[in-house]
Amino acid sequence: MRISTKGRYALRMMVDLAEHVNCGYISLKDIAQRQGISKKYLEQIIPILNRSDILKTTRGAQGGYMLAKEPEKYTVGDILRLTEGSLAPVACVDENPSPCDRMEGCATLPIWQGLNRVINEYLDGITLQDILDRQGAVNGDYVI
């Protein structure tokens, strides 16, 4: 499994919005500058995220984007599934598996099911807040 540029950039954008959660609406231009991502590329990701109602948007001079919920409510798995579709390593363990004549007697199916479970549990176990907390610990931005 390989996460596409779209998925990686969507996650970076969501982390940026989480970092600036108390700053009101954030323009794509600002996110693009901070993240070193083309604004045009972010414009292609926004409709995907908007369809799922995970962002609040406003237009105009003070327009931009902000998280619709608190950073701890977003998992990496949820964000990547929006942009990537399934995270399944093979089609037979997808949410809607492709029919396979060998599925009933497949000796390798349990391997793919286990890998799929590990991938999803891992990515669903990390929230945007976890990423911010880890980044703060690395940068020494922690409070006692």
Residue 102 lies in a domain: yes
Query: What's the number of domains the chain is made of?
Result: 1
The verdict on pTM exceeding 0.75 is yes
Residue 129 lies in a domain: yes
CATH of the domain at 44: 1.10.10.10
Quote the domain boundaries for residue 95: 5-139
Residue 99 lies in a domain: yes
Mind giving me the DSSP string for 68-105?
SS-GGG-BHHHHHHHHHS---SSGGGSSSPPP-TTTTT
Cα-Cα-Cα-Cα torsion 117, 123, 127, 131, nearest 10 degrees, comes to 150
Sequential pLDDT tens for the chain (144 residues): 789 999 999 999 999 999 999 999 999 999 999 999 999 999 999 999 988 889 999 888 888 999 999 999 999 999 999 999 999 999 888 888 777 788 788 999 999 999 999 999 999 999 999 999 998 776 665 544
Tokens of 49: 């995220």
Residue 144 lies in a domain: no
